[in-house]
Structure 1
Amino acid sequence: MPEGLARPVRVMLVEDHAAFHRALATLVDREPDLAVVAQAGAPDEARRHAASVGFDVAVMDLGFPDGDGEALIGELRRAASGAALPILSNSLDPTNLKRATEAGADEVLPKFAAPGEIIGTIRRLGSG
């Protein structure tokens, strides 16, 4: 990276729906100040990445066929104590959202949020 430029915000994506996962990775990677450093389609894969890859923001889903997203929030929080953990979720059920924030999620956005809102959230949470 050229001298004088800040390091990009390092983003890990944790999403089990392949099409959404690819679209989100493309969206993030188009931003010069953001970089996807890891992608996981399941909680076990996210745990492996968290142990080996430094990240500033882990954008994740809550629902996984083979694991509990709420438990994963706590695990990622312990693996990277300074990282931000925004959630993108299909479910806007207030009970699920409350449990996610109680588990340590920094913010919850609907998956249908505008791309600019998602990028803005990643940027804001990753910068501070």
Structure 2
Amino acid sequence: MKGISGRETRGLPLGALIPCVDNTGAKMISLIDVKALHTVAKRIPAAGVGDMFIASVKKGTPEMRSKVVYAVVVRQRRPYRRADGTMIEFEDNAAVLVTPDGEVRGSEIKGPVAREAAERWPRIAAISSTIV
């Protein structure tokens, strides 16, 4: 995992239901906690593009349901500013399941992946079809 420059807008708060866009069998995951989040005391944790978080699988195959997994946000609907000053937003939220070390659990990703997530997680960039 590489560090990211600048401040990003975190658009997915605790408890958010996020579609999983890989082929691991999970369809919908719920955000439990954000890894490596250093923030103000008693502030509700939120995840943004490129953040790793802990999630619970809410919908999916029977062997995946109710498992606690790690995931990375690859798209978010809330607009955020890039380093060059442009604002970007996607039409949906999306996440990809990963191992605690950052290895992708699936073998393909449906839809585009944000450049911030691809730069921070090289294994996600390797299997993504489109990087925006």
Normalized per residue, which structure has more strand? 2
TM-score for the superposition, normalised by structure 2: 0.27
Normalized per residue, which structure has more helix? 1
